[in-house]
Amino acid sequence: MDGENIQSDTGLGSDFDDDFDPYDFTDDPALPEDRFLDRELSWLAFNQRVLELGEDPDIPVLERANFLAIFASNLDEFFMVRVAGLKRRILTGLAVPTNVGRAPADVLSDISAAAHVLQARHAAAFQDLVRPALAVAGIDVVSWDSLHADEQESLRDYFAKQIFPVLMPLAVDPAHPFPYISGLSLNLAVRVRNPKTSKQEIARLKVPQMLPRFVRVDRSESVDKVRFITLEDLMANHLGDLFPGMDILEHHIFRVTRNEDVEIDEDETENLIQALEKELLRRRFGPPIRLEITEEMDDITLDLLVRELDITTQEVYRLPAPLDLGGLFDLSRIDRPDLHYPKHVPTTAVQLMPAEPNSAPDVFRSIKRGDILLHHPYESFATSVQAFLEQAAADPGVLAIKQTLYRTSGDSPIVEALIAAAESGKQVLALVEIKARFDEQANISWARKLEKAGVHVVYGIVGLKTHCKLALVVRKEGKELRHYSHIGTGNYNPKTSRIYEDLGLLTADDQVGKDLTRLFNELSGYAIEKKFKRLLVAPLHLRKGLLKRITDETANAAAGLPSGIRIKVNSMVDEAIIDALYRASQAGVPVDVWVRGICSLRPGVEGMSENIRVRSILGRYLEHSRIFSFHTLGDPQVFIGSADMMHRNLDRRVEALVRLTDPEHLQEIEGLFERAMDPRTSSWWLDSDGAWVRHARDDSGHLLDDMQNRLMQQIGNRKRSAARR
């Protein structure tokens, strides 16, 4: 899901491409036409895996509530981007066949059918599973009618003082046209009657998004037993205060999802920031693409909404209250440690631990001793990457800092370090990707703040998003300049670093430093680099580099030599890469694909992909790292970086992979794949029909190994062993 919330990458992450154009690759007649799985349905299958975590009674109940919220947020983004984009292309006649060759209208129909089933299952998971489990644990979501008179009186006082002044009822009549309904807002449609004229009217009442979604019933300080009422339920039972003198006949909850994708023709604009800000204003008024209503809504109200929103009946989702279960994020933050995953405190990487217990770590000295492979959140981002940049900002020997910023947090110490460095006279370059979806406005604000501090801010290359995660520090040591580099798989975001699983390399290798210097020059100026030594860079080199290595493994297997390919990504969609993996499998190459989200590859098909295994692991952390490992006749070539196997990453983004060379790092990566593919590890397995089957218990009913828990223990033990030494 990249982004400040786990759901934004889509949370457990979304990986939404920018368009539906198929990659122009050479078709192989030896491969069947039906060799790809539909990418949209594959994404929905991913979100179903998230939902299954919310349904799992073995997971702490507040974490289950969190997974239900993630599911809802993921689905919102899917509709706002993928479904909206598909619908727009159909209406404009620009739609092309999907990655499986089907008509877009047919795929849209399949998406709708699957989404209706999933949303109903999601609502049932809350009503029948999580809500009762919360109540047993002492956290009860109750209705107004179940409250005692004194409790209702207390809430009336709270409503009058804290909620009523914020509300804005809007009439719908000839003098008051149907109001604009903002995307993802929760609303009450209220039907009233004037007792003097018996005339009926309809009004709209928006549920304020800045107020708590769940209102505490008992105002005591107890945390072991608490009750909540939804804000919309509280509002619905005070409609008389908002429409005095009127008879309240009906009220129903509804919610609208709009097309909120952003499109900019960078070749036609002179000022990217100004164009983007105008487009962000337009985003608010995108056409509706989904209407969620409570199951008891009457036909009069529904007909009005469908007509005024110009929406089809297929786009109406009738669900039990409460709607918008993304609001469960609020409940999931309740301070009940017994109902959450056990607390995990990231450890400092052993190589970065100070020599003396009370001494300050010297990050540069540690990096100079050898490459450091970081694994977040098991190892601390604050004491590694953040410390690296903060020390660079304060070090008088540092002359320059260059960094990419795709997404970062609202109070980012990374940005503050860059500002401090610029204010102290250092050369600082920040490449800010202001087109990072749904973080555009925040990134514009950070870009302006950086510019005011004297940072050289650039926005990358026209037509390409800069998605790579790079930082380069140039430090004067004696008479020489030394490069210190960080290449990562995740954003420079201290908040998400605690919930996103990512890898990063800290290195003083001069070749990496020269590679990054060339790449930053390309990003900030007009240089066009043809070659890098330890990097694979998109869009010029990455696709070719990966295909060459897959082809080499294929040739080795065909010659009877050892071979092997192991890939970990968020999404596996690109047809050319998938076809190359099919050909590798046909030659006998064992191929392991570890994917979090979308997978269009069909494993286990006889004669095509019987040597390919696909696994997915979801859990308390969002699996976000990307790894590419090739056997290379016993001399493994292993890369980590920012790129997924999607058209956008390989062809329309600046991405970077760095090759790992330290034997211990190669062994560590091999260990990750061994554990992920082990049948004793809890995971989902993709079958040849496109179905994901969960393997969480063995044949005896015992829980299988949780890989993330095991890594926490393993990396924690590594630190304790180092401390004893």
Q: How far apart are CA 271 and CA 266, in angstroms?
A: 9
Tens of pLDDT, residues 346-390:
999 999 988 776 677 899 999 999 999 999 999 999 999 999 999
CA distances, 249 to each of 186, 190, 303, 341, 382 (Å):
20, 8, 17, 45, 56
Tens of pLDDT, residues 460-507:
676 778 888 999 999 999 999 999 999 999 988 888 899 999 999 999
pLDDT of residue 8: 38
Is a pLDDT exceeding 90 seen at residue 334? yes
Q: Phi and psi dihedrals of 190, rounded to 5?
A: -115, 125
Is a pLDDT exceeding 70 seen at residue 706? yes
Measured from the Cβ of residue 334, the count of other Cβ atoms closer than 10 Å reads 18
pLDDT of residue 548: 96
Q: Provide the 3-class DSSP secondary structure of residue 473.
A: strand
Name which of 234, 235, 214, 213 is nearest 169 in CA terms: 235
Q: How far apart are CA 254 and CA 243, in angstroms?
A: 19
Residues with catalytic function: 467
Distance of CA 446 to the CA centre of its chain: 21
- As a dihedral over the C-alpha atoms of residue 579, residue 583, residue 586, residue 590, rounded to 10 degrees, the angle is -90
Mean pLDDT of 154-163: 94
Domains 6-136 and 166-332 share a fold: no
Name which of 141, 301, 153 is nearest 227 in CA terms: 141
Tens of pLDDT, residues 49-99:
999 999 999 999 999 999 999 999 999 999 988 898 888 888 877 767 777
- Domain definitions of the chain by residue range: 6-136, 166-332, 350-530, 537-724
Is a pLDDT exceeding 70 seen at residue 673? yes
Tens of pLDDT, residues 642-662:
999 999 889 988 899 999 999
- DSSP per position, 62-125: HHHHHHHHHHHHHHHHHIIIIIHHHHHHHHHT-----TTS--HHHHHHHHHHHHHHHHHHHHHI
Owner of token pair 């129903």: 252
pLDDT of residue 402: 95
Largest CA distance in the chain: 92
Q: Phi and psi dihedrals of 537, rounded to 5?
A: -120, 130
Give the pairing type, strands 398-405 and 427-432.
parallel
pLDDT band at 529 (very low <50, low <70, confident <90, very high): low
Q: Phi and psi dihedrals of 261, rounded to 5?
A: -75, 160
Is a pLDDT exceeding 60 seen at residue 274? no
Q: How many CA atoms lie within 13 A of 425 on its CB side?
A: 3
Tens of pLDDT, residues 438-455:
555 666 777 777 888 888
Q: How far apart are CA 95 and CA 93, in angstroms?
A: 6
Is a pLDDT exceeding 80 seen at residue 696? yes
Q: How far apart are CA 381 and CA 7, in angstroms?
A: 20
CATH 3.20.20.60 applies to domain 537-724: no
CATH 1.20.58.310 applies to domain 6-136: yes
Distance of CA 718 to the CA centre of its chain: 30
Q: Which two tokens stand for residue 501?
A: 């699983």
What's the alpha-carbon Rg for the chain, to the nearest Å? 27
pLDDT of residue 7: 39
Name which of 493, 487, 710 is nearest 620 in CA terms: 710
CATH 3.30.1840.10 applies to domain 166-332: yes
Q: Provide the 3-class DSSP secondary structure of residue 30.
A: coil
CA distances, 502 to each of 196, 215, 291, 570 (Å):
66, 36, 36, 11
Rounded mean pLDDT of the chain?
87
Measured from the Cβ of residue 318, the count of other Cβ atoms closer than 10 Å reads 15
Is a pLDDT exceeding 80 seen at residue 174? no
Name which of 558, 577, 710, 413 is nearest 36 in CA terms: 577
Multiple choice CATH, 350-530, 3.40.50.150, 3.30.870.10, 1.10.600.10, 3.40.718.10: 3.30.870.10
